[in-house]
Each structure stands twice: as structure tokens, then as C-alpha cells.
Amino acid sequence: MKENLETKKKYNIKSYPTLLLFENGTLIKRIVGFSSKKSTENKIASSLFPSNHS
């Protein structure tokens, strides 16, 4: 992420991989570190559709 130092600083990214989810321009979820595809899908879905997940 050398080419995006401003973004790294703006969102306080300190480790990789980091996945940032936004809604209407607002950061709603930060997912840091490696995880399985299914785990990542579940984290994203629970952030985007919270009433469908417990």
C-alpha cells in the first residue's frame, strides 16, 4: 500500500489485509486479518444486513 499512504493514514490501517466497508460514505465495518472465504462473507453480510444475522 505504498502508493496509497494518504488512505492508509486516513483510515489508520496498520496491518494487511484490511477490508473497510462503507455505507453512504461512512465507515461501518473494519475487518482485519486473514480469514476463510465463508467467514469473510458472513462478516460482510452481518454488516450489510444486520437483521438477517444473529
> What was the pLDDT predicted at 43?
92
Number of domains in the chain: 1
Look at residue 21 and tell me if it is in a domain. yes
> What was the pLDDT predicted at 1?
56
Look at residue 41 and tell me if it is in a domain. yes
pLDDT tens for each residue of 1-54: 567 899 899 999 998 899 999 999 999 999 999 999 999 999 999 988 887 655
> What was the pLDDT predicted at 50?
80
Selection from 14, 9, 6, 50 nearest residue 32 by Cα: 14
Look at residue 23 and tell me if it is in a domain. yes
Phi, psi torsion values for 18, nearest 5 degrees = -130, 125
Cα–Cα distance measured from residue 42 to residue 10, given in angstroms and rounded to the nearest whole number: 26
Cα–Cα distance measured from residue 32 to residue 11, given in angstroms and rounded to the nearest whole number: 12
